Chains A and B, each alone.
Chain A
Amino acid sequence: AQSVTQLDSHVSVSEGTPVLLRCNYSSSYSPSLFWYVQHPNKGLQLLLKYTSAATLVKGINGFEAEFKKSETSFHLTKPSAHMSDAAEYFCVVSLSGTYKYIFGTGTRLKVLA
């Protein structure tokens, strides 16, 4: 069975400091993994995705994530937070070719001036 756990419901960082949003997954097969961002009153926008190619995945707006099979993790990082990064972030796992997408419960990122 597939599952995804976002380890922090809220994360606060100061502007200009690194961001780390943690995601652990469980999957019986090689999964596809995604990070989405949702700004207030907006839809979910794809940040990046892992699909069994390079384990370090670069996304939009300076975000990247590393797939670590041994740790079953897919943590999202950014070297320097910007005020515009304040949003909710969702980690998602899927089996290729299926309809099933499992969503984490989200991490709300707050960026302090």
Chain B
Amino acid sequence: NAGVTQTPKFRILKIGQSMTLQCTQDMNHNYMYWYRQDPGMGLKLIYYSVGAGITDKGEVPNGYNVSRSTTEDFPLRLELAAPSQTSVYFCASSPLSGDGNTIYFGEGSWLTVV
């Protein structure tokens, strides 16, 4: 009963490095999302996808890129990491309809940029 799986759980990056956060879901959901969570700020949407091959920017997309080549996978790429990208990142998915529009989250990825 995997749901949404994201890796890595923890990562330390140096300023200017790049990395990819991996995300996969096994619920055949159309929608997938990347959020970042900063203390006291709730969750902010970085990018989302409504299906394979379709992605769009959320509220805070600068410094990130995504791709959606399959229904299951939605990796988030950080280019030229900056200290402002230190945050907790959550991948999530939801069905196009049904299930009360419930959104399901991965366990999170804690990223520190030093």
Contact = CB atoms under 8 A, between A and B. Distances in A.
Interface string B97-114: 100111111111010000
Interface centre among A32, A46, A101, A106 (most CB of B within 10 A): A101
B2 interface: no
Interface in A56-113: 90, 92, 94-97, 99, 101, 103-106
Contacts, number: 53
B42 interface: yes
A10 B78 CA distance: 33
Contacts of A51: 100-101
B31 A41 contact: no
Given A49-B102, A97-B96, A90 B33 contact: no
Interface residues of B, number: 23
A42 B41 CA distance: 17
B97 A97 contact: yes
Interface of A: 9, 32, 34, 36, 41-46, 49, 51, 90, 92, 94-97, 99, 101, 103-106
Interface of B: 31, 33, 40-43, 45, 48, 50, 90, 94, 96-97, 100-108, 110
